[in-house]
Structure 1
Amino acid sequence: MLLVCEHASKTLPIQFGDLGLPGEALSSHIAWDPGALSVARSISDALDATLVYQRFSRLIYDCNRPPSSPGAMPETSEIYAIPGNKDLTAEERLARTDALYVPFHDAIRGLIRDRRARGQDSVIVTMHSFTPIYHGRERAVELGILHDEDSRLADRMLDAAAEAPLYRTERNQPYGPEDGVTHTLILHGLSNGLRNVMIEVRNDLIADDVGQGVMADYLKRLLQQSLDDR
């Protein structure tokens, strides 16, 4: 298993300052996926899975978006305008792409390539969290199992979740392929014929160590059962 956490950190590279944002925005879900890295690390430790995560905030570059996407370096996120991302030049966009996006995805490509050279295929699992209220609307879903065209692993995880329904779990919620969130799955999973899935956890459920541990144990069981059933 190859675990990927694109939105692991709220840290901004020092040269970008605060992007013109207040502290509350820089600590909120627009800057990162709270709890996602801790859950991913627990799963990585339990299943001896390699974990690749981005060390800088998605406000600088969202590594789950291609360079051509406006969302890669967003000018707005939910209710916040992001002054430091407004009217970026082509050169500025390229510099961020080369500094953050390219090495991140090259690292994943290298792991897949090296494993295949040893006769091993990878399973791609990306870990995310989402806010319980978005644009003023509450989200009832607690756990989202997302996929693009390849639903093999997602189907098995949804079946496993239905057998042990600890959380309200839904397919392609609160986002789906139509929202452009499956870039990493397409880039490394679909393009290589590898099983893949994106996991979205409502972040109020993983706001502390206890919640993170319970969620990690549950996801570990879902993944183990889904992979054992292949």
Structure 2
Amino acid sequence: MLSCDDDTPFAVFNAHGEGDVLLVCEHAIATIPSVFAGLGLEQHALMSHIAWDPGALELSMRLAKMLDAILCYQRYSRLLYDCNRPPESPSAIPEKSEVHDIPGNRNLSLQERHQRVEKFYRPFQRGLSGLLEARRKSGRQTALVTIHSFTPVFFGKAREVEVGILHDVDRRLADAILVQTDTLDCHYVTHRNEPYGPEDGVTHTLVEHGIQNGLLNVMVEVRNDLLQTQEQIDAMAAYLGGLISNALLPDSKWPRTIDQTGGRL
């Protein structure tokens, strides 16, 4: 399914990071190996938000440097397999994304679906689990933070929210972050569980690797029109990095200022 020139699906950035945060970016890249013939899509669709989360990897890398965090990410398009979905989910290998039909994902046999799971999902899950297990064995604390971006307009409807702080049943880290946005002069419209929530099936990584391991966890969604330039990415990283750092400080008392220079607090 992958040529010998293709990279493994699981990639790590800042592998020797010493911070308490482990960053995950499941929709980092739009790459589709040539053997899949672009899943029958036109080039504009392959580079649109249906194939990846624009700006999310760059933001994740900036945060990794700020927080001295390890970052793991998926090297292939979520259209091949969405690593934030379990194999039983229909949206793991979507036949349609928003208004785009995906011919290469239609009428797959059970064997073809199994191959996608084994080639894309399993290596990613094993890689992330291995990082977490190594940290556990070394006695390191871990807060799991997943980074995503979303489109400003969805099915013709504009989205006002600029940053979403998402959680499933474990809301500890999300609450600690949102306390700051409620009390400080925030630079972005930041809401809880928007534009998606657990009912939309977007918290698989949080549940599988965070909640089941008893780890603090949160998912961050950023509107992708705020991640188009390096200046925008740096500003968003400073905002989020400050929120995350403050939320993880022991015995924190609110409110606390956010470091807008991009440095650690």
Task: Mark yes or no: TM-score above 0.5.
Answer: yes
Instruction: Report how far residue 122 of structure 1 moved.
Output: 1.3
Superposition map of 1:79-228 within 5 A: 79-162=99-182, 163-228=184-249
In the alignment, residue 182 of structure 1 is paired with which amino acid?
Answer: T
1:14 to 17, 34, 57: 34
Partners of 2:66 and 2:173 in 1: CA distance: 19
**Offset of residue 121 of structure 1:** 2.7
Moved over 3 A (4+): none
State the shift of 1:10 in Å. 0.4
**Root-mean-square deviation over aligned CA pairs:** 0.8
Q: Which has the higher helix share?
A: 1
Q: How many residue pairs were aligned?
A: 230
2:7 paired residue number: none
CA deviations over 1:91-141 (Å, ceiling 9, x no partner) = 111111111101111111111111111112311000000000000000000
Instruction: Normalising by structure 1, report the TM-score.
Output: 0.98
Q: Does the residue aligned with 2:38 lie in a helix, a strand or coil?
A: coil
| 5+ residue gaps, structure 1 | none
- The match for 1:68 is 88
Cα distance between partner residues in 1 of 2:187 and 2:208: 31
Q: Would you say 1:38 and 2:79 are equivalent positions?
A: no
Identity across matched positions, percent:
53
Which AA in structure 1 matches 2:238?
Answer: D
Deviation at 1:164, TM superposition (A): 3.4
CA contact (8 A) 1:125 1:198 kept: yes
**Cα distance in 2 for residues equivalent to 1:89 and 1:228:** 49
Q: Distance in 2 between matches of 1:164 and 1:115?
A: 35
Q: Could you tell me which amino acid in structure 2 is paired with residue 187 of structure 1?
A: E
Aligned mates of 2:250, 2:173 — CA distance in 1: 10
In our comparison, the structure showing a higher alpha carbon Rg is 2
> Which protein has greater RCO, CA pairs closer than 8 Å, 6+ apart?
1
Which runs of no fewer than 5 residues in structure 2 stay unpaired?
1-20, 252-265
Q: Deviations over 1:126-184 (max 9, x none)?
A: 00000000000000000000000000000011112221311000000000000000000
